[in-house]
Chain A
């Protein structure tokens, strides 16, 4: 869910590896980010709508990844996938690390690009660690 740079990259990679992938986005223009020859399905719709998720195949999905720009939208859709459609592997991107930590305690796998990015950048600096 969410065909931005991250979503498109995840979809392209999984598709290359032979998985059956559906990409969901509110705006069909976002599908331009997918590579030529992308073999997955592209669905236009709001992933926070249970009917849209069901039409996109949430009931049969093994994994659901929410990578829209909105932490709360990602959380909402992830819980729909988990609670309503019983998707086993759900990953919710959460930019706000505080929120992400709480979501993690509420049954979701979360990934915070903010914390991960900060840590990676600190590691690139000379003499990382306490001064």
Chain B
């Protein structure tokens, strides 16, 4: 398989290095002459200096016989253009790195099937590492009591209720409500819980799971 990588930044370089050891023929196209020279030695002479957004550069790189073009520069507009030209030249598979996740929609609309967003990949990693994202421990109190902060999302089962109507675990207490405007209130009989409120809650370490279920709902973590 002949793979052309557009962009010799960190992503392009590491991708090239991975491919170098395999059975594929590979070429990295990098616009900056100094960067191209720098990684050309490390990638055993498989780097060509040039602007992969220029059709003539891609033609010179043998795009007509390429099986895959991966556009992995740091600029989404450049990646889109490389993929469009490559596809126009008949490359069977084109792949773009999408730096700004909101741009993924346009790539989709253009029929560029595989978009790999480093930002999104990292985000999803972070999200996996944080199973309970909306409950943050604030401090340890005496005798096994803890102070936690819970931010209410729109899907929280307690939104629209008063603090008294909320069934909390034993020895748990909503101590303070900070609304989305940053105004703190002591919960009262006529207080309505609203999405965006941050509740400062006293609870027991062993009750945190129940507390989460009561305030956040059954779902854990982010929707992916």
Which residues of A are at the interface with B, using a C-beta cutoff of 8 A? 48-51, 70-73, 75-76, 79-80, 83-84, 96, 98-99, 102-103, 105-106
Contacts of B53 in A (CB 8 A): 71-72, 96, 99
Contacts of B56 in A (CB 8 A): 98
Q: Which residue of A is nearest B108, CB measured? A: A83
Q: In the bound complex, what is the Cα–Cα distance between A122 and B103 (angstroms)?
A: 41
Q: In the bound complex, what is the Cα–Cα distance between A22 and B109 (angstroms)?
A: 25
Contacts of A79 in B (CB 8 A): 80, 106, 109-110
Mask: chain B, 99-134; 1 = CB below 8 Å from A; 0 = not: 000110110011000000000000000000000000
Q: How many A-B residue pairs have CB under 8 A?
A: 56
Q: In the bound complex, what is the Cα–Cα distance between A50 and B102 (angstroms)?
A: 8
Of the listed stretches B81-89, B152-160, B172-180, chain A binds B81-89
Is B109 within 8 A of A84, CB to CB? yes
Is B88 within 8 A of A98, CB to CB? no
Which residues of B are at the interface with A, using a C-beta cutoff of 8 A? 53-56, 75-78, 80-81, 84-85, 88, 102-103, 105-106, 109-110
Is B76 within 8 A of A98, CB to CB? no
Counting chain B CB atoms within 10 Å of each CB, which of A72, A83, A98 scores highest? A72
Is A99 within 8 A of B110, CB to CB? no
Q: In the bound complex, what is the Cα–Cα distance between A25 and B55 (angstroms)?
A: 28
Is A98 within 8 A of B80, CB to CB? no
Contacts of B55 in A (CB 8 A): 98-99, 102
Is A75 within 8 A of B54, CB to CB? no
Q: Which residue of A is nearest B79, CB measured? A: A72
Q: In the bound complex, what is the Cα–Cα distance between A75 and B110 (angstroms)?
A: 12
- The 10 tightest CB contacts between A and B, nearest first, are A76-B77, A72-B77, A83-B109, A98-B55, A72-B81, A73-B77, A102-B88, A72-B78, A76-B80, A102-B85
